[in-house]
Copies of this chain bind each other. A is one copy, B any other.
C-alpha cells in the first residue's frame, strides 16, 4: 500500500490516496486515530462509475464515519475509473443498455454476465486491501462493509470473517445464484431499499432480504428513486455501525 497524496479535511479527517499494486484507493482516518488508539474501519462500496465520479458521495460518507470515530476506505472497482476494461464486461454493459432502451426486461443471462465476473474479480481485491489496511497501526478493527453493488457485499461478508456487520443497498441487479449465497450471510445486516427505484425489482429485493441468513437484519425502505436515499437514512445506518463496531 503506497500513499500517493495526503490532505487534511476541514473537519480534521486525514484523507490519503493510495495504490495497492495497480489499484487506486482512498483512506480516511479521523483526527483521533493513533497507534495508541487504533480505530474501527468501514469499507465503502460504490457503483462501478469510477472513484473520481463517486468522490463527492464517498467523502461525505467518510466524513460521517470519521465523526463517529471510524476510519473509512475504498478502492477502485475492476473495469472502472482508469483501470483496464475487459471485453465481456463491456459487452454485458452494452446488452444491458440495449435491453433497457428497448424497454425489455433485463434477462438473467445479462445480469449474470454483468455482475458475476465483477464479484469474482473485486472480492479478492477488497480482501487484499483489508490485509493492508489492518496492518496499519492506526487501524484496529472491527470492520464493517457499507453500500455499493450488493452482490459484492454478499460475497465479501460470506468469505471474509473479519467483517462483522454490513450495510447493504438493495439497488442493483442480483444474479439468481446470489440468493443462495445470501442464506450463508450471518453477520448483522442493515439493508436499504428505495421503494420506487427505477432500475430495481422491489419484490426481488424483498425476497433477497428474506433470504439472508442473519439473525439480526433490518430493512429500511424509503420513498424515492435509486439516488433519492434521504439524509436521515444515513443517520440510521450510522447508528447501526455505531452499535456493531464500537
Which A residues are closer than 8 A to B by beta carbons? 195, 206, 209-210, 214-223, 230, 232-233, 235-236, 239-240, 243
Contacts of A214 in B (CB 8 A): 223
Contacts of A223 in B (CB 8 A): 214-218
Complexed CA–CA distance, A223 and B218 (Å): 7
> Is B220 a contact of A218 with CB atoms below 8 Å?
yes
Complexed CA–CA distance, A240 and B236 (Å): 10
> Is A218 a contact of B209 with CB atoms below 8 Å?
no
In whole Å, how far is A195's beta carbon from the nearest beta carbon of chain B? 8
Contacts of A216 in B (CB 8 A): 223, 230
* Chain A contact residues, majority secondary structure: mixed
Question: Assuming the A-B contacts A217-B223, A221-B209, A221-B219, are A239 and B243 also in contact, with contact meaning beta carbons closer than 8 angstroms in the complex?
Answer: no
Contacts of A219 in B (CB 8 A): 195, 219-221
Complexed CA–CA distance, A206 and B210 (Å): 13
Find the residue from A214, A218, A230 having the highest chain B CB count within 10 A: A218
Task: Please name 11 further chain A to chain B contacts, defined as beta carbons within 8 Å, in addition to the given A214-B223, A216-B223, A218-B230, sorted by A numbering.
Answer: A195-B210, A206-B206, A217-B222, A218-B221, A219-B221, A220-B220, A232-B239, A232-B240, A232-B243, A235-B239, A236-B236
Complexed CA–CA distance, A206 and B221 (Å): 10
In whole Å, how far is A60's beta carbon from the nearest beta carbon of chain B? 19
In whole Å, how far is A92's beta carbon from the nearest beta carbon of chain B? 31
In whole Å, how far is A141's beta carbon from the nearest beta carbon of chain B? 22
Contacts of A206 in B (CB 8 A): 206
In whole Å, how far is A216's beta carbon from the nearest beta carbon of chain B? 6
Find the residue from A206, A210, A223 having the highest chain B CB count within 10 A: A223
| 12 CB-based A-B contacts, threshold 8 Å | A195-B219, A215-B223, A216-B223, A217-B223, A218-B222, A218-B230, A218-B232, A219-B220, A219-B221, A220-B220, A221-B221, A232-B243
Contacts of A230 in B (CB 8 A): 216, 218
Contacts of A222 in B (CB 8 A): 217-218
Q: A-B pairs with the 5 shortest C-beta distances?
A: A219-B221, A218-B222, A236-B236, A220-B220, A217-B223
Complexed CA–CA distance, A220 and B195 (Å): 12
Complexed CA–CA distance, A219 and B195 (Å): 9
